[in-house]
Chain A
């Protein structure tokens, strides 16, 4: 394999890895935010 292929694979791995991790964190953030809102609504409903 030529050097450029290794270079291409390396850059792809780095940026794919970084983007996947960012996406994973943002999806978790969105899911947890919804869960907190839902739990607070349930809790407020129970109190009232």
Chain B
């Protein structure tokens, strides 16, 4: 318990330090983009939010598979906790992307862009995951439904990640294309932001799992008291 609390403090400390550095790098250290200007500074945390949502849904997928194999409910708790964090960051990714799009594309959203569409589907699948979970009656059916939905939702991730690389529509492909390649300072700022958000995700996951375990403990105590 003490070790776990110490781990949380260390991860929180790293998150705060990396976040402060990444904000400095994104807003002050990096130059303005040649064509987009200052609006490009959104991209450091937009990409980081998208990365954390993929990571979180990936953890949900893996934890769901382990649950289906082992039937150990602790994996369901991890899967659910990660899915909730994934939804938060997916929402942030969609909002920040739309706020970047307005000055650059002159619209908040392009329905014809497959990457945007698949990302929206991914978000909706995990919203449905939460809704299904909230309405499932027993703890086991909750866990079974969640695991299946988590696996279905995960299918959208490679599609969402690869859509702009395959179809090359409006959404920029910054990390892979020659024309969109980043200057060294911008790439460095992006890497630091991604690390900051990854540590933030780990911290949030530890706290959220704790909260879910406490809820389970309360249910157990109530059952004991009733029995």
Chain B interface residues (CB < 8 Å from chain A): 37-39, 41-42, 45-46, 49, 88, 91-92, 95-96, 99-100, 102-103, 200, 204, 207-208, 210-211, 214-215, 217-218, 221-222, 224-225
Chain A interface residues (CB < 8 Å from chain B): 1, 3-4, 6-7, 9-11, 13-14, 17-18, 21-22, 25-26, 28-29, 32-33, 35-36, 39-40, 42-43, 46
Q: Which residues of A contact B88 (CB under 8 A)?
A: 17, 21
CB <8 Å contact, A14 and B92 = yes
CB <8 Å contact, A7 and B42 = yes
Question: Nearest B residue to A13 by beta-carbon distance?
Answer: B95
Q: Which residues of B contact A22 (CB under 8 A)?
A: 204, 207
Interface of B is mostly: helix
In the assembled complex, 17 residue pairs joining A and B whose CB atoms fall closer than 8 Å, in A order, are: A4-B38, A6-B42, A6-B100, A6-B103, A7-B42, A10-B96, A10-B99, A11-B42, A13-B92, A21-B204, A22-B204, A22-B207, A25-B211, A26-B207, A32-B215, A43-B221, A43-B225
C-alpha gap A38/B200 in the complex (Å)? 31
User: In the complex where A13-B92, A32-B214, A39-B222 touch, is A25 in contact with B42 (Cβ < 8 A)?
Assistant: no
CB <8 Å contact, B225 and A3 = no
Q: Which residues of A contact B45 (CB under 8 A)?
A: 10-11, 14
C-alpha gap A35/B42 in the complex (Å)? 41
Q: How far is the CB of A10 from chain B (nearest CB, A)?
A: 5
Q: Specify which of A3, A21, A26 is in contact with B37 (CB 8 Å cutoff).
A: A3
Closest 10 CB pairs of A and B: A32-B214, A3-B39, A39-B221, A10-B99, A25-B207, A10-B42, A3-B38, A28-B211, A10-B96, A6-B99
CB <8 Å contact, B211 and A29 = yes
Q: Which residues of B contact A10 (CB under 8 A)?
A: 42, 45-46, 95-96, 99-100
CB <8 Å contact, A7 and B39 = yes
CB <8 Å contact, B42 and A29 = no
Assuming A7-B42, A10-B42, what are 17 further A-B pairs, CB within 8 angstroms?
A: A1-B103, A3-B38, A6-B42, A6-B99, A6-B102, A7-B38, A7-B41, A10-B99, A14-B49, A17-B91, A21-B88, A28-B211, A33-B214, A39-B222, A42-B225, A43-B224, A46-B225
